[in-house]
């Protein structure tokens, strides 16, 4: 069992990582129950695979569960389901000091976090992430959001959870493709500022994806520690440090937009291809060695993740993809900040990227 603190003054909280923690949920979550009850929000897939474990763990400690089950999928991060969730939370009389439990992946975590941020002018929530992506990234740091017609994650709030409970064994029921997509976010921490961890990924990534529990636990803890440090340093993405977590996301977002934010390309898969593109673009601009860019692509390819436009199933040309980037919420004063690299573990925020260079690169990179 490992505890990683997120140091944010009065908003500080712990992340507890423990294999099998869901079965012992009563011990870990009892302090968040009011009058012996916890409201748990989840989606239908997670309800089928993991809700009974959580319920049994809570009931064993005398805590009754009020489950709210929403449909799975990105479409649930929407006005429609935000409204439905808020109405249901009000109907079960959630109070301002209560803690709502978000059991699920990034979709449930982002939606519940946002609902908690506005319900009765702000109540509390606890993250119990059940995808690798949510365990290593989205459950930590307090970014919450829903999507709108204008784009993804455009309506939201910073609202930190009170606690994050990570049980890696919940990943046993997660489809292999989803585990691999989440693994892209693990690799990201190595590429940002930890070349030794990237080398660890090269050596251990395949075993992790094949279900090696020790490798999985190590990667989750390493990622969570990296994210907690970044969030503690730059909670609201104002100094540029937290922006490093967006490595691969600007290219990735354009690829996701081209594929309609659909199952053709999962978010983590878009990030994987986006990181490979960011490194190859950096090499083309003379910022980093081509050998580093090739090493990144080789590792992503080795674990079955997309690493270029073809493997991401993207057909659009450079100009069209850059058009998608212009809708990015990171646009500021008509400029789009880009995460580029001087080498593996040397990511930095570039504010002077010429988008016509990006479009030309994408056309040439397709080959």
The site partner of 46 among ligand NAD, ligand GLY, none (C-beta below 5 to 8 Å per kind) is ligand NAD
As annotated, the active-site residues are: 121, 143, 185, 227, 237, 242, 246, 249, 253, 267
Residue among 109 and 141 whose Cβ is closer to ligand GLY: 141
Contact, 243 vs 218, CB < 8 A?
no
Which of ligand GLY, ligand NAD, none has residue 68 at its interface (CB below 5 to 8 Å by kind)? none
Q: Residue 138 or residue 311: which is nearer to ligand NAD going by CB?
A: 138
Positions in the binding site for ligand NAD (CB under 6 A): 43, 45-46, 49-50, 72, 74, 77, 104-108, 110, 130-131, 133-134, 137-138, 141, 143, 152-153, 170, 173-174, 178, 267
Give the chain's radius of gyration (CA, Å).
Answer: 20
CB distance 212 to 205 below 8 Å: no
| Nearest residue to 227 (alpha-carbon basis) of 161, 285, 274 | 161
Nearest-CB residue to ligand GLY? 245
Cβ proximity of 318 and 260 under 8 Å? no
- Write phi, then psi, for 327 (nearest 5 degrees): -90, 5
Should residue 253 be labelled a site residue for ligand GLY when binding is judged by CB under 6 A?
no
| Residue 143 is a binding residue for ligand GLY (CB under 6 A) | yes
Instruction: Indicate the residue among 127 and 169 with the shorter CB distance to ligand GLY.
Output: 127
Cβ proximity to ligand NAD, 165 vs 293, nearer residue = 165
CA distance 133 to 114: 18
Partner in contact with 160, chosen from ligand NAD, ligand GLY, none, beta carbon below 5 to 8 Å by kind: none
**Residue 242 near which of ligand NAD, ligand GLY, none (CB within 5-8 Å, type-dependent):** ligand GLY
Q: Which of residues 122-141 bind ligand GLY (CB under 6 A)?
A: 137, 141
């Amino acid at each position: 069992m490992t505890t990683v603190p997120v140091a944010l003054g009065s908003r500080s909280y712990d992340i507890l990582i423990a294999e099998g923690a869901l079965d012992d949920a009563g011990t870990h979550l009892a302090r968040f129950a009011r009058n012996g009850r916890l409201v748990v929000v989840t989606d239908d897939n997670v309800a089928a695979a993991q809700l009974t474990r959580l319920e049994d763990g809570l009931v064993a400690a005398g805590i009754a569960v009020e489950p709210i089950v929403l449909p799975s999928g990105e479409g649930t991060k929407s006005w429609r389901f935000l409204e439905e969730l808020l109405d249901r939370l009000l109907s079960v009389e959630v109070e301002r000091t209560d803690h709502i439990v978000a059991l699920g992946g990034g979709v449930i975590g982002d939606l519940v976090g946002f609902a908690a941020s506005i319900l009765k002018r702000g109540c509390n929530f606890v993250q119990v992430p059940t995808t690798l992506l949510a365990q290593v990234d989205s459950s930590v740091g307090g970014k919450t959001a829903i999507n709108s017609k204008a784009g993804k994650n455009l309506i939201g709030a910073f609202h930190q959870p009170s606690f994050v409970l990570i049980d890696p064994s919940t990943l046993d029921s997660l489809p292999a493709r989803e585990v691999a997509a989440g693994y892209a976010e693990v690799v990201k921490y190595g590429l940002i500022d930890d070349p030794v961890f990237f080398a660890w990924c090269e050596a251990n990534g395949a075993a992790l994806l094949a279900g090696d529990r020790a490798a999985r636990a190590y990667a989750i803890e390493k990622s969570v520690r990296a994210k907690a440090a970044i969030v503690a340093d730059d909670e609201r993405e104002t100094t540029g440090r937290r922006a490093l977590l967006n490595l691969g996301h600007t290219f990735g977002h354009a690829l996701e937009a081209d594929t309609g934010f659909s199952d053709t390309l999962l978010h983590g898969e878009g990030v994987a291809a986006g990181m490979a593109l960011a490194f190859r673009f950096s090499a083309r601009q003379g910022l980093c060695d081509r050998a580093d860019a090739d090493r990144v692509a080789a590792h992503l390819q080795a674990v079955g993740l997309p690493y270029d436009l073809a493997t991401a199933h993207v057909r659009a040309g450079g100009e069209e993809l850059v058009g998608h980037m212009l809708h990015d919420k990171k646009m500021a004063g008509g400029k789009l900040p880009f995460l580029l690299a001087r080498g593996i573990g040397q990511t930095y925020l570039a504010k002077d990227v010429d988008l016509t260079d990006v479009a030309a690169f994408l056309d040439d990179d397709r080959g």
